[in-house]
Structure 1
């Protein structure tokens, strides 16, 4: 995100909406931003401040809104809750669950085993650059996945 720009300017960065005269239509961009944010994060209210003034969770919402608004079919999220506080982590987790419910594919790169178990349908584990295996999270335990990470072997019950 561009820290000095507000949510709408970040959402449309490089894809600004223009009016019939070719000028940037800031009011339409803000209206569209309000619509998408209402869908993704109904509690978002800071539309007219630079994103540098937003919390980590709110910043993640703006970044995700950009992808969703422009019809992404899959989101790749690399440690989306890293360095966030508990409240913001919960907010981003709820957003991920909502996006899943809306049918958006999410490829989540995550080291927190609890987030993997809570947010993912399947988990793929790598060790030393090699794929250990992919399991359905509802068929394994946290310990099974940790064993895959440490031992580099898929659990027998998931084989």
Structure 2
């Protein structure tokens, strides 16, 4: 029987065109905001009505441990930089998993492309240890976001 309650924020997966891409440490899901417009006709009372307009999203931000084997993301980034419109736009999904590791909630992003790539910041004085890892960050734009229960 499935457990009820909030999902953990530490269990998630990322897919690029349906293929699981492991190694993501952090995902910042976008905020959705809808424009508002004031509307009033000439014979309306002195207050306006609120109408909704266009929907806007902040970018999706993905942080991943830097690895030698990062070909899919690197090829995607290069396609955008080279202006290859056919290869630059991908579908990406972020799947939040329950405590048992089963998919529970899915966010799908259509026609996504990498707007910004940040290579790892390196610091030899950081103290080392297993927690001192090189992290790459990808800022991703997209056309539409859909939230689905799995």
- Using structure 2 for the length normalisation, give the TM-score: 0.25
- Using structure 1 for the length normalisation, give the TM-score: 0.24
Larger Rg over CA atoms = 2
